[in-house]
Chains A and B, each alone.
Chain A
Amino acid sequence: MGEQQRIIVIGATSAIAEHCTRLWMSSPATVLLVGRDEARLERVADDLRVRSPASAITCVAIDFCDPVAIRTLVDDFAGGGAIDIALIAHGTLPDQQQCQQDLVACRDAMEINSLSPALFMEALAGHMGPANRGRLAVIGSVAGDRGRRSNYVYGASKSLLDRYAQGLQHRFAQSGCRICLVKPGPTATPMTARLTDEGLALARVEDVAQVIVKGIVKGKPVIYAPGKWALIMMVIRHLPRFIFNRLDI
C-alpha cells in the first residue's frame, strides 16, 4: 500500500455522495467531508469511521455560496497534498411551480444547483489540473439534457454544470486529471422522497453509487447512472421539437 488517497466530498450528506464515499473508503483514505449542517455531517462521518477505522476523516460546514470560503477551503485541503478524488454532489430539487411564481425561490435554486458547484469546480480544477492527476467529478443530472416544463429550473441549473465540465475537460485535455460529469437518473434519495409516493420507479442509491465510482475510476467524461439513461436521454435529446412539445414530461 502506498499513501492513503486524499478525497474531498462537497455535499457529503447527500445520499449519492455518502454511498460513493463508503465505496472509496473500503481502503483507508484521508477524507474531508464538506456540507452545510454540522450535525448531519458528523452522523455521516461517524458511520464512515466505523466502516474504515484507519481513515482520517474531517468535517467542515461552510456556506456553499460564499466564493471566499470556497476558495479558502479548497486551498487548505490542496495544500495538504495532491487530491486524488473530488466529488461535488450538493443540490436540491426545487418545486418548479413555486420557482415560476417566486423569483427568490428560483434564484436560490439556481444558486445552489449551478453557481455554487461551478465555483467549487473552478477552485478544485485550479489545483487538480496542474497537479496532473486525480479525478474531479460533479453531479449533474439527466434533467440537464433537455429542458422540460415539469422541471426546467433544475434542468437548466444542472446543464450549466454540463458546459462547465466540458470547458474544464477542454482546458485540461493534456492533464492527467480527469473531469467527470455524472448524470444520475431518478434515484431513491431524500431529495426525491416526495416522488417515491407518486409511484415513480427510482434506482437504488447503492447501485447508482457503484456505477458512479466505476466511471470515475475509468475517468469517463460523462457518466450516466444507471447506464441505461445514456440511451434514454439520447432519444429524448433527438426527438423533433414538434413531437417533444406534445409530451407530458
Chain B
Amino acid sequence: MVAVSSWGRLGHWEHQVAPLHDRSRIAADLATHGSGLAYGMGRSYGDVCLNPGGKLWTTRNLDRFIRFDEESGVLECEAGVLLRDIQQLAVPRGWMLPVTPGTCFVTVGGAIANDVHGKNHHRLGSFGDHVSQLRLVRTDGSQLDCGPDNAPDWFAATIGGMGLTGVITTATLQLRRVCGPWLETETIPFHGLDEFFRLADGSEEAWEYTVSWIDCLSGSGLRGIFLRGNHADDESTVPPVGKPSYLGFTPPLSLVNRLTLRPANGAYYFLHRLAAGKKREDYRPFFYPLDRLADWNRMYGPRGFYQYQCVLPTEQRQDALSALLDETAKSKTGSFLAVLKTFGERQSPGMLSFPRPGATLALDFPNRGEETLALMIRLDAIVGEAGGRLYPAKDARMPQQLFESGYPRLQEFLPFRDAGISSALSRRLLGR
C-alpha cells in the first residue's frame, strides 16, 4: 500500500498502486478484484482522483504518441501523455492544443475525464470539444472506441465522466493551427464587477483568451487585473523553458494566512498595475503562470487547501458573484490567486461537463477545518440559489444535493458507469 494525495494535499490515503505500461494489455491489468480508478498526475484538487483502500491504476507510463499528421493537425496518443509534451511537440510544427488549463502538467486522460477548460472557452469550448475519438477499456475486459459520431452516448458520458465509465487508454485530438508560440496580450486593472463584465463581455468578440485575477479580500467593491490575449503573427521560436523552481519543503504553517494575504494581494495588484498595457508574450507564462513554481500547493502547509470553483448562470451572475465575494471578504480568509472568468454561450460535450454559460469563480482556501467548511457551506447556499454548479475536479466536500441540482444530466450518466471503478468522490456523491 502506498500513501497517495491529490493537489489540495488535504490528506494522504493508502492505495494499492498498479502502474499501467502497455496499452495492448490493459484489459488484463484491470481484471482484478476490488474497485480501481485511473490516476494520472494527481492534479485535481480533491478526491475525484483518489480511491482510498482500493486500487489506483497509474497512467503516467502510457506516454507514447501514436501518430501525428502535420497536414491536418490530428494527433493520436496514449492517455498518460502530458499536455506539456504535446505543446513541446506541436508548437514548433505550427500546431497547438486548442484548449489548455492553467497547468500543462496534466495527462490527456485527466483532461478528458474532467473536461478541463481554458481561457478561451467562449471561443473554443472545453477540452472534450477537440477529442475526435477515444478508447475506453472496461473492467469486464471489453473495449470500446467512441467519439462524437461513434457511440456518441458513451463519448458524452466519458467526457467529464471523472474516469468512472472505464479507463481511457488512447485519444485522438484535433490540434489548432498557430503561427508560432507568441501571443499579443493586454493587462488591464479594473474596479468593480460592472467594469469586469464590461471588459469581459466587450472582449469576447475580438480576443480569444480572457481571464482575470481578483483580490478576494476586496469584496464586491472588487479590484482586479483583467488579462486578454490573441495569437500573434510571429513565427520566431522561443527559448526552451527553464527548469521550474521548487519550494522543496512543506512549511509548518500555511504561508497564505491572515497576516500575509492582504500584503500579498496588494503587492500582486500593484505590480500588475505597473505592468498594465500591451505586450508580446510567450504562450507558456501566459497559459501556465503557476507552473513556474512546480510545487506551489505546498505553500498551504501540512493541512492543505480547498479550491472552490463554481459557475453561475448568466442571468444571476452579477448578484450571486457580489454575494460570494462579500461572504469571502467577510471571512478574511481566501486565496492569493482568485480567478474570475466568463464562459461562452455553448453546450458542453459531456453529460457532466462543468462549463456552462455564465461566469466562473475559483477561490483557494487554506484548510482551517470547521471554519473553512462552514464558509463553503455559506457559499454553497448562494451558488445553489443562483442555479449554479461546482467543479468536481476541484471539489473535496460539496453536498450531494448541490451536485444533483447542478448536474441535471446525472441520471442519464449513471448507466454508463463501470461497476469495477469507484472513487472517493463517487462514493460521496453517487453512493458507490
Q: What are the residues of chain B within 8 A of A188 when measuring CB–CB?
A: 19, 61
Q: Are B19 and A43 in contact (CB under 8 A)?
A: no
* Complex Cα gap A46–B65 (Å): 7
Q: Are B2 and A197 in contact (CB under 8 A)?
A: yes
Partner of B89, one of A40, A44, A46, A51: A51
User: In the assembled complex, how far is the CB of residue A192 from the closest CB belonging to chain B, in whole angstroms?
Assistant: 9
Q: Are A47 and B65 in contact (CB under 8 A)?
A: yes
Q: What are the residues of chain B within 8 A of A205 when measuring CB–CB?
A: 61
* Complex Cα gap A47–B23 (Å): 13
A23 is an interface residue with CB less than 8 A from chain B: no
User: In the assembled complex, how far is the CB of residue B3 from the closest CB belonging to chain A, in whole angstroms?
Assistant: 8
* Complex Cα gap A15–B22 (Å): 11
A81 is an interface residue with CB less than 8 A from chain B: no
Partner of A190, one of B19, B66, B67: B19
Q: Are B66 and A197 in contact (CB under 8 A)?
A: no
* Complex Cα gap A188–B17 (Å): 12
Q: Are A193 and B19 in contact (CB under 8 A)?
A: yes
Q: What are the residues of chain B within 8 A of A196 when measuring CB–CB?
A: 2, 17-19
User: In the assembled complex, how far is the CB of residue A61 from the closest CB belonging to chain B, in whole angstroms?
Assistant: 15
Q: Are A197 and B18 in contact (CB under 8 A)?
A: yes
Q: Which residue of B lies closest to A52 (CB)?
A: B89
Q: What are the residues of chain A within 8 A of B17 when measuring CB–CB?
A: 196-197
B21 is an interface residue with CB less than 8 A from chain A: yes
Q: Are B1 and A197 in contact (CB under 8 A)?
A: yes
A50 is an interface residue with CB less than 8 A from chain B: yes
Q: What are the residues of chain B within 8 A of A80 when measuring CB–CB?
A: none
Q: Which residue of A lies closest to B2 (CB)?
A: A199
B236 is an interface residue with CB less than 8 A from chain A: no
Q: Flag B8-30 by CB within 8 Å of A: 1 or 0 each.
A: 00000000111101111000000
B68 is an interface residue with CB less than 8 A from chain A: yes
B428 is an interface residue with CB less than 8 A from chain A: no
Q: Are B64 and A190 in contact (CB under 8 A)?
A: no
User: In the assembled complex, how far is the CB of residue A199 from the closest CB belonging to chain B, in whole angstroms?
Assistant: 5
Q: What are the residues of chain A within 8 A of B2 when measuring CB–CB?
A: 196-197, 199
What is the interface residue range for chain B against chain A? 10 to 19
Q: What are the residues of chain A within 8 A of B65 when measuring CB–CB?
A: 46-47, 50-51
* Complex Cα gap A189–B20 (Å): 10
Q: Are A43 and B23 in contact (CB under 8 A)?
A: yes
* Complex Cα gap A193–B18 (Å): 7
* Complex Cα gap A154–B261 (Å): 55
Q: What are the residues of chain B within 8 A of A53 when measuring CB–CB?
A: 70
With A39-B24, A196-B2, A199-B1 already in contact, the answer to whether A50 and B68 are too (CB < 8 A) is: yes
* Complex Cα gap A136–B399 (Å): 60
State how many residues of chain A have any CB contact under 8 Å with chain B: 18
Q: Are B1 and A47 in contact (CB under 8 A)?
A: no
Q: What are the residues of chain B within 8 A of A189 when measuring CB–CB?
A: 21, 61
Q: Are B21 and A40 in contact (CB under 8 A)?
A: no
Q: What are the residues of chain A within 8 A of B1 when measuring CB–CB?
A: 197, 199
Partner of B66, one of A40, A47, A193, A199: A47
* Complex Cα gap A199–B14 (Å): 10
Q: What are the residues of chain A within 8 A of B23 when measuring CB–CB?
A: 43
Q: Which residue of A lies closest to B70 (CB)?
A: A53
Q: Which residue of A lies closest to B29 (CB)?
A: A193
Which residues of chain B from 54 to 100 have a CB within 8 Å of any chain A CB? 61, 64-68, 70, 75, 89
Partner of B16, one of A15, A46, A51, A197: A197
Q: Flag A3-47 by CB within 8 Å of B: 1 or 0 each.
A: 000000000000100000000000000000000000110011011
Q: What are the residues of chain B within 8 A of A190 when measuring CB–CB?
A: 19, 21-22, 61
* Complex Cα gap A46–B170 (Å): 14
Q: Flag B224-257 by CB within 8 Å of A: 1 or 0 each.
A: 0000000000000000000000000000000000
Q: What are the residues of chain B within 8 A of A15 when measuring CB–CB?
A: 21, 61
User: In the assembled complex, how far is the CB of residue A75 from the closest CB belonging to chain B, in whole angstroms?
Assistant: 31
Q: Are A40 and B22 in contact (CB under 8 A)?
A: yes
User: In the assembled complex, how far is the CB of residue B77 from the closest CB belonging to chain A, in whole angstroms?
Assistant: 8
Q: Which residue of A lies closest to B88 (CB)?
A: A51
Q: Which residue of B lies closest to A46 (CB)?
A: B66
Partner of B64, one of A39, A43, A193: A43
User: In the assembled complex, how far is the CB of residue B357 from the closest CB belonging to chain A, in whole angstroms?
Assistant: 37
- Max chain B CB contacts within 10 Å: which of A46, A50, A189, A196? A50
Q: Flag A174-207 by CB within 8 Å of B: 1 or 0 each.
A: 0000000000000011100100110100000100
* Complex Cα gap A189–B60 (Å): 11
Q: Are A44 and B18 in contact (CB under 8 A)?
A: no
Q: Which residue of A lies closest to B19 (CB)?
A: A193
Q: Which residue of A lies closest to B64 (CB)?
A: A47
Q: What are the residues of chain B within 8 A of A43 when measuring CB–CB?
A: 23-24, 64
Q: What are the residues of chain A within 8 A of B22 when measuring CB–CB?
A: 40, 190
Q: What are the residues of chain B within 8 A of A197 when measuring CB–CB?
A: 1-2, 16-18
User: In the assembled complex, how far is the CB of residue A130 from the closest CB belonging to chain B, in whole angstroms?
Assistant: 37
B interface list, Cβ under 8 A from A: 1-2, 16-19, 21-24, 61, 64-68, 70, 75, 89
A interface list, Cβ under 8 A from B: 15, 39-40, 43-44, 46-47, 50-51, 53, 188-190, 193, 196-197, 199, 205
23 interchain pairs (CB within 8 A)?
A: A15-B61, A44-B64, A47-B64, A50-B65, A50-B66, A50-B68, A51-B65, A51-B89, A188-B19, A188-B61, A189-B21, A189-B61, A190-B19, A190-B21, A190-B22, A190-B61, A193-B21, A196-B2, A196-B17, A196-B18, A197-B1, A197-B2, A205-B61
Known contacts A50-B75, A188-B19, A193-B18; 18 additional CB pairs below 8 A are: A15-B61, A39-B24, A40-B24, A47-B65, A47-B66, A50-B66, A50-B89, A51-B65, A51-B89, A53-B70, A188-B61, A189-B21, A190-B22, A193-B19, A196-B18, A197-B1, A197-B2, A199-B1
Query: Closest 8 CB pairs between A and B?
Result: A50-B65, A47-B64, A190-B21, A50-B68, A47-B65, A199-B2, A193-B19, A197-B17
